[in-house]
Every structure is written in structure tokens, then in C-alpha cells.
Amino acid sequence: MFIAIATDGQGHIPRQHFGEASHFEIIELKDGIVTPFKTISNVQQHHSGHGQHGAHHGSGGKAKEIIRQLKSNGVSLLAGQQFGPNIKKICAHFGTFLTTTPYVQELQTLMEANAARLEGQMLEPKDGCYPLFRIKSGTIAIQHLKGLV
């Protein structure tokens, strides 16, 4: 499974919406091992949608482009400290992972420790949405967004 982590390009996970990150670090989680794959620039970082043909924050144009960019890289799970209003669109395409750690390496270690749970839950969407993962008491808690959106 390929995972895109919202980063500043220097190993930190910024405390901002996923789509505002300057880079996405793509890692592979396979058989309980995390392997760095590649880092790509977020080509939509500065696109806000404000004032363009009546678009507003969360209108979806930016999300559609990020979805396209990450799907073309084989990504199935997104990880970041925050997700904005487009999470409703995102959950139909990717699992989401909310983290409180600001460090990519720490998140990778946590994902390795919980690999079986992550990989097992990502097989099929439930009610059209992939799961939302959160850290709760040091372990990964799973929530389905269908009831939240």
C-alpha cells in the first residue's frame, strides 16, 4: 500500500490542511515494513479556489487535482495533521490518517507497528468511504466517515 504524507519537504508534517502542504512524501507499507518511495511537490499548494468562477474554500477543484495527482502515484492512504472540508470527497478515494506527530519518521514507525490493522482495514470502502484512522492511547483507532459527513 502506498501512503502520501503531507510534509514540508524536510521531514516535518505541518499543522495545516493536507492540501496546503508543499510536498507529499510517498512511502510503501508492505508486509509490516515502511519503505520510502519518493517525494513529490504539491502542484496545487497555492491554489485556493477563492474568487475563481464563484469557487470557494472547499469547493473541490483543488481536491480533484490532488486526488488525480496522488492516484496516478498509486496512493491509497493520506496522512496529515489536518484535513479540510474536502475530506468528504477524499474519503471516496483514499483512507485518511490523522496524526498529531509533526515528524514523518515517528509516523512511519507507528504505521509499521500497526501495519496489519492498517492494511486489513484498507481493503474495501464501507458505505462508499474508506476509513479514517486516528491515534488513541498509542494505538490506531478506526472510524468511518459516512456517519460524520
The domain locations on the chain are 2-147
Looking at per-residue pLDDT, the higher value among 2 and 59 belongs to: 2
d(C-alpha 58, C-alpha 88), whole Å: 10
Q: Which of 4-8, 21-25, 121-125, 133-137 has the lowest mean pLDDT?
A: 121-125
**Fold annotation for 2-147:** Nucleotidyltransferase; domain 5 (3.30.420)
State the pLDDT at residue 49: 53
Determine contact, residues 101/138, Cβ cutoff 8 Å.
no
Q: Tell me: the pLDDT tens digits for 102-139? A: 999 999 999 999 898 888 887 777 778 888 899 776 77
128: left (phi over 0), alpha (psi -120 to 50) or beta: left
Please state the length of the chain: 149
Cell numbers placing 119 = 492494511
User: What DSSP element (H or E) covers 144?
Assistant: strand 139-144
